[in-house]
Amino acid sequence: MSLVTCDLSISLDGFAAGTDQRLDAPFGDGVGDDGHDLHRWMFDTPEEHAAELGAITEAGAFIMGRNMFSPGRGAWDLDWTGWWGPNPPYHAPVFVLTHHERAPVEMEGGTTFHFVTDGPEAALARARAAAGEKNVAIAGGAATVNQYLAAGAIDELRLHVAPVIVGRGERLFAGLGHTPLRLISARCTPMVNHLTYGRA
Amino acid sequence: MSLVTCDLSISLDGFAAGTDQRLDAPFGDGVGDDGHDLHRWMFDTPEEHAAELGAITEAGAFIMGRNMFSPGRGAWDLDWTGWWGPNPPYHAPVFVLTHHERAPVEMEGGTTFHFVTDGPEAALARARAAAGEKNVAIAGGAATVNQYLAAGAIDELRLHVAPVIVGRGERLFAGLGHTPLRLISARCTPMVNHLTYGRA
């Protein structure tokens, strides 16, 4: 059965990004200086986390927030095609939640960015249709994940918890009320704890 | 070598207690309705977590905040001797951080509550002296733990992370800045993830 999944790297104190998201951050990944620690496991020791890394991009369609697509940009920029270069790692349709209409942007390798202006529910319906038998992945950022969590729409929340306190930034679970979850799987390593949760 | 440890049950979103701490909460444990989910592993399946439970009270001295000693009480109450009954589980000196002078309260089983009015550093010095070769445990609540974390005083932070989003209450790590940590050990179960961190 097709699932709605979500992979998110967070700090031990629950932040998915630092406060200083911008495109000229040291690693150019738009997650902010503080946030880089959260993604160290991907960049420094990918071979140790091959299964988890592979699972992140195996979905048949993706949904992301506008701020993940173009972090730190005040205005909508038609020249901007994401920070992943000409061949993004998705290789599938990516539905970007935004208030600004824009024609789809076809990238190399099978990734096409579609801009959805009628809300997260509509984006999920379009992503499900595009994914077919495959999963739909909520790619981030935290605000977008929180919207889908609040709606009870996420079947597998795959957290990658880095051993760092960040102290500020975009918080996963912000605004959510009491929600019991169920641990599906756990694999803990010095660099990161991979914890997958589902609905209780 | 004697260590400063801290055991704290938290929700997946980092809360150590709900907002409604009071003595007439359903389980009388002073952690609030929301907070009860955090301690379910202790009460429902203690045999599965015997090692972690045993480790919580093996220290030679304990430190706790005034709000943990007498949650939800507006005024200092000389009749109050904690919510653990006549024989508290500490069996050792417990140093309670407070602004109110009070004579020590000797309980059954070796627990004596000492009231410390000259701050967390003084409390730690007294607890170390009392513990001798044994560890000193920061018993909680979150505000007290955060003070000692900010001071870099905790050698082993033993988190017991329940699979629940609580959404509000007293937050572990509140007010802390960027702090890298080091995973010392991890044991994950459906009821709770036991994660021990030290300084990086």
Of B12, B179, B181, the CB nearest to A181: B12
Smallest Cα distance from A3 to chain B, Å? 20
What average pLDDT does this structure show over A32-36? 65
Question: How far is it, in rounded angstroms, from Cα B176 to Cα A11?
Answer: 13
Most confident of A34-43, A88-97, B33-42, B65-74: A88-97
Q: Which percentage of chain A shows pLDDT scores above 90?
A: 77
**pLDDT for res B80:** 86
Handedness of CA A74, A93, A47, B157 (dihedral sign): positive
Question: Which of A154, A179, A189 has the highest number of chain B CBs within 10 A, making it the mutation to test binding with B?
Answer: A179
Q: Report the C-alpha gap between B96 and B161 in whole angstroms.
A: 25
Residues 6+ apart with CB under 8 A from B107: B81, B82, B84, B86, B87, B88, B113
A164 lies within 8 A of chain B by CB:
yes
- Examine the pLDDT at A193 and tell me if it is beyond 60: yes
Closest approach of chain A CAs to the CA of B83, in angstroms? Answer: 25
Q: Are strands A193-199 and B136-140 parallel, antiparallel or unpaired?
A: unpaired
Q: Per CATH, the architecture of A4-73+82-193 is what?
A: 3-Layer(aba) Sandwich (3.40)
pLDDT tens, position by position, A102-124: 999 999 999 999 999 999 999 99
Q: Where are the domains of chain B?
A: 4-73+82-199
> pLDDT band for position A23 (50/70/90)?
very low
Closest approach of chain A CAs to the CA of B161, in angstroms? 11
Q: What is the CATH number of domain B4-73+82-199?
A: 3.40.430.10
